[in-house]
Chains A and B, each alone.
Chain A
Amino acid sequence: MDKRMSIDEVIEQIPDGAKVAIGGSSISRKPMALIRALARSGKRDLTVIVDVGGPDVDLLLGTGKVKEVIYAFVGFEVLGLAPHFRRARQTQAVKFQEWTEYTVMAGLDATIKRVPFIPTHATLGTDVLTVNDAFKEIRDPFTEEPVVAVPALRPDVALIHVNYADIQGNGVILGDGHVDVLCAKAAKSTFMSCERILSSEELQRFGRDVQILRVYSKGVAEVPWGAHPTGCAPDYRTDLRHLQDYLKAAASPDEWHHYEKEFVDVTHGEYLENHGGAEELVSRLKV
């Protein structure tokens, strides 16, 4: 089955109000071309589920697509805090649910395992447990000790970016996998972008690095530089210069408007041209 789709065809599959899980981690292997397309679409009231977020969550917040964020961390790592995330939280325009890295993974895992919740000791003794209404402190039925019930997280859609895929929707991840496999397995529909589409014979050569099996993917879009400005190991590293420009732009409405015009409200081809083209990116960011 040929699952190839364009970026826009992927976005059409996402209904308003959908729960969207995003793979990658902070400034690494985020499906940014798909995120930008979502950001310039008319979609709204999304719930974003993310373990470690970065420019993905920040851009969707900055373009007003988000109703709620379920997250463990959102930041730009060495570059600092995420500007729209911070602002949205301080102005209370959007709902935020405090989770932790393990509990987000446990919530996705519960859905995969078809169980309603997973018990854990994580977050006992913290205010995370106090402010997150989704968690319940319960008694271990065998020992009576307190444990936390982490409810199943059921994304409608997962968006991920991988190094290679075939047209059947098998995906190769060469760097660390982050939570992509959990997102892909837990979501009702998973769409992935990839740096390159390979023939299924070629893909077989990557053996153990085929992390996304076709049973879990609904669509695949070939999008070279599809993770930019985040990094996609081992093909290219994080574009710190772009991210610094992003942070600067996010500080003023005028500059942000300009940033959106140049880097969000454009096709992926135009996006690359506005960086001086793929060759310029290769010379700067190829590992």
Chain B
Amino acid sequence: MPSNRDWMIIAAARLLKNGERVLVGVGVPNIAANLAKRLDAPDLVLVYESGVIDARPERLPLSIGDGTLVDAALAVLPMGELFSHYLLTGWIDVGFLGAAQIDASGNLNSTVIGEYQQPKVRLAGAGGAPEIATSARRTIIVMEHSRDRFPAKIDFITSPGHPAGHRRPDGRGPWRVVSSLGVFGFNEAGVMGVLALLPGHTYEEVLDLSGWRIPLMADPTPYLPATRAEEESTLAALRATLPKGDS
């Protein structure tokens, strides 16, 4: 059985459809998008926020500025042009986001843990997440599942989710959350619910590890279909392209 992290990568990769334009960040989203492109979505257009359009990286990039992304890319645009003329105009189909905290509406925190003026932990900051969260046609959020990360109230809203009581009227915003326990969606009220669990995990675990009672979206809640051999082997081959000492 794959590790939780591998399951998250595979589950996220399955959410991408062939031909879509996906804005990829570092970490799990990066591996997931590259995995999808090598399996069921060969025409996936990988876009990196540094300005790289339709990247075909031979190995996994270490950062959004990694030279491997520029080689064989369709175009390398000035970053300002990518944001102003492509992202903010709605050209991106799927935006991938990670965060330190998420709430029931899909609001995300990547700024501070604790009080803003006296933080317990200072995080890396917003980056381009606020723009991606509101401009991509839909967003997929990837994060480990724990009570700290899924609290009833997050400490800082870095990227907005759905407004109170309904989904974003423009149809954008949080679409799926892939956690180490399962895949989550958002109902008509813009509230997060369980769509499917990762094999080996239970709804009780979701309740134990969340700061609010996340409802089920289907009854009974399905499990994600088992991994296919090529998903695991392709993922292992991708991992092997990273320098040693890096995961």
Using an 8 Å CB-CB cutoff, how does the interface string of A146-181 with B read, 1 for contact, 0 for none?
Answer: 000000000000000000000000000011111101
> A1 at interface (Cβ–Cβ under 8 A)?
no
**Interface pair B116/A131, CB less than 8 Å apart:** yes
Question: With A and B bound together, what is the CA distance between A244 and B130 in angstroms?
Answer: 29
> A105 at interface (Cβ–Cβ under 8 A)?
yes
Q: Pick the interface stretch among A3-11, A121-129, A195-203, A273-281.
A: A121-129
Closest to B49 in A: A101
Q: Pick the interface stretch among B4-12, B32-40, B78-86, B180-188.
A: B78-86
**Interface pair A105/B83, CB less than 8 Å apart:** yes
**Interface pair A109/B80, CB less than 8 Å apart:** yes
**Interface pair A176/B76, CB less than 8 Å apart:** yes
**Chain B interface SS verdict (over half):** loop
Q: Pick the interface stretch among A21-29, A212-220, A257-265.
A: A21-29
**Interface pair B66/A182, CB less than 8 Å apart:** no
Which residues of chain B come closer than 8 Å to A74, judged between CB atoms? 124-125
The 8 Å CB contact of A128, one of B67, B88, B130, B134, is B130
Using an 8 Å CB-CB cutoff, how does the interface string of A225-254 with B read, 1 for contact, 0 for none?
Answer: 000000101100110110010000000000
B28 to chain A, nearest CB (A): 11
**Interface pair B122/A90, CB less than 8 Å apart:** yes
> A85 at interface (Cβ–Cβ under 8 A)?
yes
**Interface pair B124/A75, CB less than 8 Å apart:** yes
**Interface pair A178/B65, CB less than 8 Å apart:** yes
Question: With A and B bound together, what is the CA distance between A244 and B247 in angstroms?
Answer: 13
Question: With A and B bound together, what is the CA distance between A29 and B51 in angstroms?
Answer: 15
**Interface pair A27/B63, CB less than 8 Å apart:** yes
Question: With A and B bound together, what is the CA distance between A102 and B92 in angstroms?
Answer: 15
**Chain A interface SS verdict (over half):** mixed
Which residues of chain A come closer than 8 Å to B124, judged between CB atoms? 73-75, 81-82
B240 to chain A, nearest CB (A): 16
**Interface pair A176/B79, CB less than 8 Å apart:** yes
Given A89-B122, A90-B119, A176-B51: A25 touches B64 (CB 8 Å cut-off): yes
Which residues of chain A come closer than 8 Å to B134, judged between CB atoms? 121-122, 124-125
Which residues of chain A come closer than 8 Å to B243, judged between CB atoms? 240
**Interface pair B159/A26, CB less than 8 Å apart:** no
**Interface pair A102/B83, CB less than 8 Å apart:** yes
> B131 at interface (Cβ–Cβ under 8 A)?
yes
B132 to chain A, nearest CB (A): 9
**Interface pair A100/B245, CB less than 8 Å apart:** no
Closest to A237 in B: B67
B227 to chain A, nearest CB (A): 24
Question: With A and B bound together, what is the CA distance between A92 and B115 in angstroms?
Answer: 12
> B246 at interface (Cβ–Cβ under 8 A)?
yes
Question: With A and B bound together, what is the CA distance between A83 and B26 in angstroms?
Answer: 19
**Interface pair B62/A72, CB less than 8 Å apart:** no
Closest to B87 in A: A102
> B177 at interface (Cβ–Cβ under 8 A)?
no
**Interface pair A90/B120, CB less than 8 Å apart:** yes
Using an 8 Å CB-CB cutoff, how does the interface string of B204-247 with A read, 1 for contact, 0 for none?
Answer: 00000000000000000000000000000000000000010111
> B69 at interface (Cβ–Cβ under 8 A)?
yes
Question: With A and B bound together, what is the CA distance between A121 and B156 in angstroms?
Answer: 19
> B3 at interface (Cβ–Cβ under 8 A)?
no
* CB neighbors of B among A96-148 (8 A): 98-102, 105, 109, 120-128, 131
**Interface pair B65/A99, CB less than 8 Å apart:** no
Which residues of chain B come closer than 8 Å to A101, judged between CB atoms? 49, 79, 83, 126-128, 131
> A191 at interface (Cβ–Cβ under 8 A)?
no
Question: With A and B bound together, what is the CA distance between A148 and B247 in angstroms?
Answer: 39
Question: With A and B bound together, what is the CA distance between A174 and B69 in angstroms?
Answer: 12
Q: List 30 A-B contacts (CB under 8 A).
A: A28-B65, A28-B66, A28-B67, A72-B127, A74-B124, A75-B124, A75-B125, A78-B27, A86-B121, A92-B117, A92-B118, A98-B125, A99-B126, A101-B128, A102-B87, A123-B130, A127-B156, A175-B67, A176-B76, A177-B51, A177-B76, A182-B78, A231-B66, A233-B65, A238-B62, A240-B62, A240-B243, A240-B245, A240-B246, A287-B67
10 extra interface residue pairs, beta carbon distance < 8 Å, beyond A26-B63, A85-B122? A28-B64, A75-B124, A90-B122, A101-B126, A102-B128, A105-B79, A175-B70, A176-B69, A176-B70, A233-B67
Top 7 closest A-B pairs, CB basis? A233-B67, A28-B65, A89-B122, A75-B124, A101-B128, A125-B160, A73-B127
